[in-house]
A and B are shown apart, each in its own frame.
Chain A
Amino acid sequence: MKKLSLYLLVVCSFVIITSTILFKLCNEGLRRVPFEEFGKLNEIMAGTTPYDLLIMGNSRSLLHVSPYILDSALHTNAYNMGTIDGSLNADLALLHAYLDHHDAPRYLLMNFDWWLPTDTLIRNEPFDYPKFYPYLDNKWVKKYLIPHSPQMKKVNTLPFLGLINYDDYKRTAALRGWTKSQRTVDVYKKGYFNRNAKFTGKDPKDTPPMKDCTFSDEGIRELDELFTLCNEKNITIFVFIAPGYRINEQLKVRQQDRDQLQQLMKLRHVVFFQDYSLRDEFLAPSWYCDAHHLNKEGAEYFSRIIAHEIEGFIHQ
């Protein structure tokens, strides 16, 4: 019994200590990555490059708005902070963290989806949560993301469990961070990412994340918190609803929720452009790479429209 206990103690202690050290080393490596997803996260969480226009939101911001097109039209220095499967929690954490290290931008451009302030999205575990592990000690990650993720809570308490959530992409990125090796082609350009694929309009799997988009109190509170933060920092907020191939036709949004959103935007001086998914020109599947996302060609066309809208507002 004594020998068995000693065996368990020695083996477990060795593994716990070694994997904790390796986890810390991995995170340090990831914090040094200058490219791709971690490069972008590192720029947001710890970077210092000043940007005067931030594009924020989920993948429908990430893939839809090219900072280069906005820059050339508006003479700004824009950065796309959009994240795949983003949520309001993630947006709040990222914006707060960004503002800790950077001067406030002049403008914030944000995609709004009707499902964002719903309970399902607010309470969901953040998508690909291990990407936030290098920043578990960040106060905004602690406030907005960890409470929604049982696994992040677990790793925050028992760091040796963190490595089991890393996939080979993250392990490779950590090694690259340490060896300072560069990517020949960084798929993220000023945070922006695009796809070349052409959508046929016939993929049955491409339905919205949920059809019933009843806003939750917490969702509205977080949206308000985001707008208020921008108001406090004198950031002008532009909101749009990104084009999607017939996805919004399937959504059920209550009139009272639409009214509530409108009131909130009015109260917080948000400039709402429009729901671009309703425009006839975006009903052609050839603009898309899937039902939710524009392809490269579509995104460039859409970015020019957005640039034109912002330009109109600025000249006003």
Chain B
Amino acid sequence: MLFNSFEFLLFFPIVTVLYFIVPHRFRWLHLLVASCVFYMFFIPVYILILFFTIIIDYVAGILIERSNGILRKRYLLMSLVANIGVLAVFKYFNFFIGNVNTIFLHFHILPREIPLLNIILPIGLSFHTFQAMSYTIEVYRGNQKAEHHFGIYSLYVMFYPQLVAGPIERPQNLLPQFREVHHIDYDRMVGGIGILLWGLFKKVVIADRVAIMVNIVYTHPADYRGITTILTMVLFSIQIYCDFSGYSDMAIGSARVMGFKLMRNFSMPYASRSIAEFWTRWHISLSTWFKDYLYIPLGGNKVSKGRWRINIMIVFMISGLWHGANWTFLIWGLIHGAFIIISAGLKHQSHISSKHPQRKKHRLHTFVNILTTFTIVTVAWVFFRAKTISDAAMMLKNSLKLFPLTTTVILQGGFGILSLIISSAAILFLFIVEHKTKDRYELFEKKSQYTWAFHAVLLLLIVTMGIFDHQSFIYFQF
């Protein structure tokens, strides 16, 4: 089920009202059933895959807790192999075999192609797999007690607001909340609705509108150049932010209405002054996951410089592949990794060469840093969005052909002058709201005499200016 669908418009109030009607001891069951219904709107049979990993991790958690020494490690390994195995089959098998076929057929090592699996990737597989893995790792580390209630553990993996696109929760934060008694609280519920509306606004008014132009240009990258290509690259940066952070807001908002507090996933990422800072603001739940479960176990920054560089590249390579089984995602990850290493090197150099105390950073300096970071991120997104490496290369090459200084695509494919005006106004509104409030949730949590009016206007803008053509969320595919 999509958050931007008519079905969700019915599903959400029904589930919420029932949640407060049902006695506390049965609420987990109610939420679990609702989450199953939510997930089964996509491909119903795939819920079996979800339950397969749930059972494995549930059992693994209890076994890890009960055992000592090498056995603990084995049980953890069993859980990780099962989770990564599911990912490997559904997400990476065809990518791997496709590459094997290309190489082996080229050198005539294979007589014919190895057949690919004819399967569709279960929606949000990487998200709930990573969330499940964080549970068994935390139990293994002794930071979390094993969950003995199978229903509550299942709900930890399946909780519908964040089931298909995160935030990737940690057991320490989410599991205890399923045992808390949540009451109807006006301030919390209105705040949650506000966050939900804000996310929906970003998705349907901005992301899905600019997607019209982005899709046209990325489908035929060779046909466009100069301003059109550059504008499309920038618009994709905006689209992916509004699409993904919009989803996170809707997840956080809908959970908050029922009394659950999910972790923040974004914090004005395009205001970052470096790529390293960008990763503390973008998809926070994933970047902290990689930091806690991969980067630090690899040695983090407490190793030699050479080893640190390798660690960074490993983390970003895996982060790229986490997003999708394609060389384009790998390159996207490597670009980010490379720029973190380069900027760390430059920072070190400037620190050595400067004998004076660090210069006072003025506004222009900050602005240049933000602009440089945004440009690097935008160029990297080209690899993320393009279907192939050659398409991405074509986009970048064509973006340098500046003439003619006009754009033709704007009036094509449904993206007209009005679309441009609405998009620009909405992006400006987004910028004002998110930058003026520093933490954008602050606006929705504070009691204000204007709350009702703000929510009413936001909802009206969604209804009147939204694009409701059932476009899925970009991150659902991961």
Which residues of A line the B interface, CB within 8 A?
1, 3-4, 7, 10-11, 14-15, 18-19, 22, 154, 160, 163-165, 167-169, 171-172, 175
Contacts and interface: CB of A to CB of B under 8 A. Distances in A.
Interface string B74-86: 0000000000000
Contacts of B414: 167-169
Given A18-B460, A163-B464, 14 more contacts: A3-B186, A11-B459, A14-B456, A19-B463, A154-B6, A164-B466, A168-B415, A168-B416, A168-B467, A169-B414, A169-B416, A172-B416, A172-B417, A175-B418
Contacts of A163: 463-464
B27 interface: no
B419 A168 contact: yes
B456 A11 contact: yes
The 5 A-B pairs with the shortest beta carbon distances in the complex, nearest first, are A168-B419, A172-B418, A164-B468, A14-B456, A15-B459
B210 to A, nearest CB: 11
Nearest to A3: B186
Nearest to A10: B452
Contacts of A14: 456, 460
A172 B422 CA distance: 11
B209 interface: yes
A56 B167 CA distance: 53
Nearest to B419: A168
Nearest to A174: B418
Nearest to A151: B6
B455 interface: yes
Interface string B174-213: 0000000000101001100000000000000000010000
A316 B417 CA distance: 53
A185 to B, nearest CB: 12
A28 to B, nearest CB: 15
A25 to B, nearest CB: 11
Contacts of B467: 167-168
Nearest to B459: A15
A18 B415 CA distance: 25
Contacts of A10: 452, 456
For the complex, would chain B's binding face be called helix, strand, loop or mixed by DSSP majority?
helix
A15 B184 contact: no
A175 B465 CA distance: 14
Nearest to A150: B6
B464 A7 contact: no
Interface in B398-423: 414-419, 422
Nearest to B467: A167
A4 B189 contact: yes
B27 to A, nearest CB: 18
Contacts of A167: 414, 467, 469
Contacts of B463: 15, 19, 160, 163-164
Interface of B: 6, 184, 186, 189-190, 209, 414-419, 422, 452, 455-456, 459-460, 463-464, 466-469
17 contacts: A1-B184, A4-B189, A4-B190, A7-B190, A7-B455, A10-B452, A15-B459, A19-B463, A19-B464, A22-B464, A160-B463, A164-B463, A168-B209, A168-B416, A168-B467, A171-B418, A172-B418
A14 B464 CA distance: 13
For the complex, would chain A's binding face be called helix, strand, loop or mixed by DSSP majority?
helix
A160 B6 CA distance: 13
Contact of B186 (A7, A165, A175): A7
A163 B468 CA distance: 10
B424 to A, nearest CB: 13
Contacts of B466: 164
A159 to B, nearest CB: 12
Nearest to B189: A4
Contacts of B190: 4, 7
A11 B468 contact: no
B418 A168 contact: yes
Contact of B422 (A3, A164, A168): A168
Contacts of B419: 168
Q: Which residue, of A154, A164, A169, A175, has the highest number of chain B Cβ atoms within 10 A?
A: A164
A61 to B, nearest CB: 24
A13 to B, nearest CB: 9
A16 to B, nearest CB: 9
Contacts of B186: 1, 3-4, 7
Q: Which residue, of A4, A14, A167, has the highest number of chain B Cβ atoms within 10 A?
A: A167
Q: Which residue, of B422, B455, B466, has the highest number of chain A Cβ atoms within 10 A?
A: B455
A133 to B, nearest CB: 14
Contacts of B209: 168
B257 to A, nearest CB: 10
Contacts of A168: 209, 414-416, 418-419, 422, 467
Contacts of B6: 154
B456 A15 contact: yes
A14 B414 CA distance: 29
Contacts of B460: 14-15, 18-19
Nearest to A22: B464
B404 to A, nearest CB: 21
A33 B456 CA distance: 31
A175 B419 CA distance: 13
B223 to A, nearest CB: 13
Contacts of B456: 10-11, 14-15
A171 to B, nearest CB: 6
A134 to B, nearest CB: 16
Contact of A11 (B415, B452, B469): B452
A111 B227 CA distance: 43
A216 to B, nearest CB: 28
Contacts of A169: 414, 416
Contacts of A4: 184, 186, 189-190
Nearest to A6: B452
A41 B417 CA distance: 23
B54 to A, nearest CB: 34
Contacts of A172: 416-418
Contacts of A175: 418
Nearest to A13: B456
A154 B10 CA distance: 14
B171 to A, nearest CB: 31
A19 B465 CA distance: 11
A302 B84 CA distance: 61
A168 B189 CA distance: 33
Nearest to A12: B459
B455 A11 contact: yes
B6 to A, nearest CB: 8
A311 to B, nearest CB: 39
Nearest to B185: A4
A279 B455 CA distance: 63
Contacts of B464: 19, 22, 163
Contacts of A19: 460, 463-464
